[in-house]
Amino acid sequence: MIDRAANGGDITGTLTGKVAIVTGGGRDIGRACALRLAEAGAAVAINYHSSAAGADSAVAEITAAGGRALAKQGDMTDAGDVAALVEDTVKAFGRIDVLVHVTGGLVARKTVAEMDLDH
């Protein structure tokens, strides 16, 4: 699928039956990822922190094309919000197969070795 997508090929249906979460999916690269995953057939849970309008319009675009999507506000640096995103996604779609983590602006600027669950 990656080769076909990278070369502009048709990926429609290659993710049919799969469920994806896209963090930071309300705008820019995250939104584009969410739309492309939906085009490939995945149901998509779009997480956003402050870009509700972008997330809602992505959900509307996906559902208008016959796909399944939901938007969920949450701070991906908060374990409770992460758990709620996972729970709501599983409740709506039954499973999770793909995670695209695009959230960036909220991430603490530390090396992986310096991070703990609070970061």
- Concatenating the DSSP letter of every residue in 81-94 gives HHHHHHHHHHHHHS
pTM of the model as a whole: 0.80
pLDDT at 58: 98
pLDDT grade for 77, boundaries at 50, 70 and 90: confident
The answer to whether the CB of 87 falls within 8 A of the CB of 63 is no
Which fold does the domain 13-104 belong to in CATH?
Rossmann fold (3.40.50)
pLDDT at 115: 73
Q: Does 111 score more than 80 pLDDT?
A: no
Q: What is the rounded distance in angstroms from the CA atom of residue 34 to the CA atom of residue 43?
A: 9
- Which tens digits make up the pLDDT trace of 25-69? 999 999 999 999 999 999 999 999 999 999 999 999 999 999 999
pLDDT grade for 80, boundaries at 50, 70 and 90: very high
